[in-house]
Structures are given as C-alpha cells and as structure tokens.
Structure 1
Amino acid sequence: MSKTIKIRAQQKGDICQVKALIKHPMETGLRKDKKTGKKIPAHFIQEVNCAHEGEKVLTGLWGGAVSTNPYLAFEFEGAKKGDKVTLSWADNQGESDSVETTIR
C-alpha cells in the first residue's frame, strides 16, 4: 500500500476514469523559510506515469509550478472492470512511489 498515493479507477461505458491524490510538498526552490530567511530547497515531482495492464497510458512531466498535494484525473479507452492500473511518480530528490489498483 502506498503512503503517498490515493487512487481510484472506475469504468464508465468504454472509458476508464482514473483519479489520484498524491501527497507531496511540491516546493519550487524559490520560497524562503519565514523563521530563518533561507530558501527552501526545490522538491517537486518530475514524472508521473500510469500503466494499464503493464502498457503505459499516461506520462506527465511536471515541475515546481504544480501545487502541493497534486490531484490528477484523466480518462482512457480500452480497459474493462477487473483490469489493473498502476500509477507511479519520481521527484527531483530521487524519491518515488507506486501503487496498483483494480478498475471497478
């Protein structure tokens, strides 16, 4: 079970709707710490991937402009109930996470 990703995949007719919430600070590297006045180091997701039954259906290249705890929603065709969907991300500090869910 993922510590940073909550995901739901639901079949609606011919379309699979995927909704995910990723827990991540998404720091740009431009903000300053109010107490110390020093810049907060950049820490943001660079790449998000989603695969359906092992075949990539989405690749997102993100940067520091994406909000804290980003929400991602998208649709794709060619899935059916019971299939597996995998979502993964990697950030600029070498951290990553992945989760798999079953389409309902």
Structure 2
Amino acid sequence: MATGIIRVKTKVSSGKTKVKMMAKHAMESGFRKDSKTGEFIPALYLQELQVVHTSKEVFAVNLGPTVSRNPYFVFTFAGGAKGDELSFTWVESSGKTATEVVKIK
C-alpha cells in the first residue's frame, strides 16, 4: 500500500482544532468476489489509525473489515495552532504501516 492516503482539512477556533479526515483506501473485507474470475478478493483494510499532536495522542481508532471504502472521520481536540504538525499513523491488515505529517492550516 502506498503512502499518501490521508486527506485532511483543519480549522482552529476558540482554542480547539477541528479535523476532517478521509483515508483513501479500498478496505477490502475478503468476502467480495472478483466479477471476472469468481475468486475472493483478499482482505486488505486499515486496522488502526492514530493521530498525534505535540507528542500527545488526540485521536485513535481500531477498524475492521466491515468499514466502508475511504473511511471519513471528524474530531476536535483542545489546543493546536496554525503551522503545528499532526502526525497520522496507520496500520494495514497486511502489517504494513506508514506515518504521514500534515500542518494545521
């Protein structure tokens, strides 16, 4: 799985940061069949997603094969300022992991 799957929009207001995030991922459950071959498509989905701001975890979620394609999350955390960095770390069911860093705008 390639990196660069996280799409983020942020807004800082009244000492809080609102984050809207989408993970561009197929989220294959392993229960769907290929229409041409009739074979099951192997399971490949995001298992974990963690967001860190200034060494503090501000969001974490465990996912499974029943989550739809391109999962979308919205959350708010106390603090944050324009220019601060958010670190997004995800783990795929294949064991692959990656970290992406986004600046708060």
Please give the range of the TM-score, normalised by the shorter of the 2 chains.
0.7 to 0.9
TM score, norm. by length of structure 1:
0.88
SS of residue in 2 equivalent to 1:10: strand
Give the Cα separation in 2 of the matches to 1:25 and 1:81: 31
Give the Cα separation in 1 of the matches to 2:62 and 2:80: 24
CA RMSD of superposed structures (Å): 1.4
Gaps of 5+ in 2: none
Gaps of 5+ in 1: none
Q: Which residue is 1:82 aligned to?
A: 83
Which of 80-89 and 39-48 deviates more?
80-89
How do residues 8-87 of structure 1 correspond to structure 2 at under 5 angstroms?
A: 8-87=9-88
Percent identity over the alignment is: 35
Shift of 1:46: 0.3
Instruction: Note if 1:92 corresponds to 2:93.
Output: yes
SS of residue in 1 equivalent to 2:47: strand
Contact in 1 for aligned 2:4/2:100 (Cα 8 Å) = no
> How far does the alpha carbon of each residue in 1:14-36 deviate from its partner, in whole angstroms, 9 at most, with x for none?
22011112111101111111111
Name the count of aligned residue pairs: 103
TM score, norm. by length of structure 2:
0.87
